[in-house]
Structures are given as structure tokens and as C-alpha cells.
């Protein structure tokens, strides 16, 4: 039985069990199964298939007279504090080229439940080319539990 929406209903004291409410429960369960995030977290001696969470976003790296900038990203308690999310990043820019991005944790080598720091480095053959001359964006996706 395919259901395209989640039906909200409630039980009250001394409510009778009815076929429509049981059908709604079954339909909601199927909807949850069809729409849940499926994934597999494998890292840091942990292999987890249940309770996977995905979070993503975009941060702005502002121009600078130097070759590097850093920006902190907070997860705001989205992931378990014990989780070390797997984070990927990429630059979004129509003007900046030769950008390297690295990720580390907040005061630690790896991202954790608090968040991460993205570091942007601008490469160039000449010193004048090693400056972040325009703002650009970094998109990121984190997989954890």
C-alpha cells in the first residue's frame, strides 16, 4: 500500500481501535520507511547503518590579502557528541581558481559532534596570484549519526 503523505492522527483515553486508525498507522509506517535516510557510516572503527544523519550547507569565504582563510561550521547538536562525522567540501566560484580546501575539527584533528573548520588556500605561481581576491563559497556535506 503506497501512501504519498504522512497522516496525523491521535489516540485518546478509551478510544476504540478502529480499522481506519490501524490502516493510518500502517500507512505512516510505510511512508517512514520509504522516506527515511538510508546510508552506511564506516569510519573510526565504527560501522553503523541505523540512525544515519546527513547535514549540508554553504559557507562564505571572504576575500583577503593573504593566501588563506578559515571558517568554522557548527552542527548545533545535530550529530551525537561522540560522532566523528565524515565531511566533504567543494569550492563554488566563477572567479577564483586553484583553491585547495582542507577540513579539521574545532581544536581537534577530526570533525566531531560540534562541527568543523574549513581552511581555504589559494595557490599561484607568483605571490600576487596567491591572494583570495574575491569572495567565494564552500558547500559541505556531513554524514554521521
129, pLDDT greater than 90? no
Q: Domain check: are 72 and 93 in the same one?
A: yes
The percent of residues above 70 in pLDDT, for the chain, comes to 97
3, pLDDT greater than 80? no
**How many structural domains comprise the chain?**
2
pLDDT band of 50, cuts 50, 70, 90: confident
Q: Domain check: are 69 and 24 in the same one?
A: no
Domain boundaries, position 4:
1-36
Query: DSSP for 117-131?
Result: EEEEEE--SSGGGSS
| pLDDT digit string, tens, across residues 18-41 | 899 899 899 999 888 888 888 899
7, pLDDT greater than 70? yes
Nearest to 35 by CA among 10, 6, 9, 56: 6
What distance in Å separates the CA atoms of residue 25 and residue 9, rounded to the nearest whole number? 9
Q: Domain check: are 46 and 23 in the same one?
A: no
Q: Domain check: are 20 and 75 in the same one?
A: no
List the end-to-end C-alpha distance of the chain, in Å, as a whole number: 30
Query: What is the pLDDT, as a whole number, of residue 2?
Result: 54
Q: Domain check: are 86 and 123 in the same one?
A: yes
Q: Domain check: are 51 and 100 in the same one?
A: yes
Q: Domain check: are 62 and 131 in the same one?
A: yes
Q: Domain check: are 20 and 67 in the same one?
A: no
Q: Domain check: are 48 and 65 in the same one?
A: yes
Amino acid at each position: 500500500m503506497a501512501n504519498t503523505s504522512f497522516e496525523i492522527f491521535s489516540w485518546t483515553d478509551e478510544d476504540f481501535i478502529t480499522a481506519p486508525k490501524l490502516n493510518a498507522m500502517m500507512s505512516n509506517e510505510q511512508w517512514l520507511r520509504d522516506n527515511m535516510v538510508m546510508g552506511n557510516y564506516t569510519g573510526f572503527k565504527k560501522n553503523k547503518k541505523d540512525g544515519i544523519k546527513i547535514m549540508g550547507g554553504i559557507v562564505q569565504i571572504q576575500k583577503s590579502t593573504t593566501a588563506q582563510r578559515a571558517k568554522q561550521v557548527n552542527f548545533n547538536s545535530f550529530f551525537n557528541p561522540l560522532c566523528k562525522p565524515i565531511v566533504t567540501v567543494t569550492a563554488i566560484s566563477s572567479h577564483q581558481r586553484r583553491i585547495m580546501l582542507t577540513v579539521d575539527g574545532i581544536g581537534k584533528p577530526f570533525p566531531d559532534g560540534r562541527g568543523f573548520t574549513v581552511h581555504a588556500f589559494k595557490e599561484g605561481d607568483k605571490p600576487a596570484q596567491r591572494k583570495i581576491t574575491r569572495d567565494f563559497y564552500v558547500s559541505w556535506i556531513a554524514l554521521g549519526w
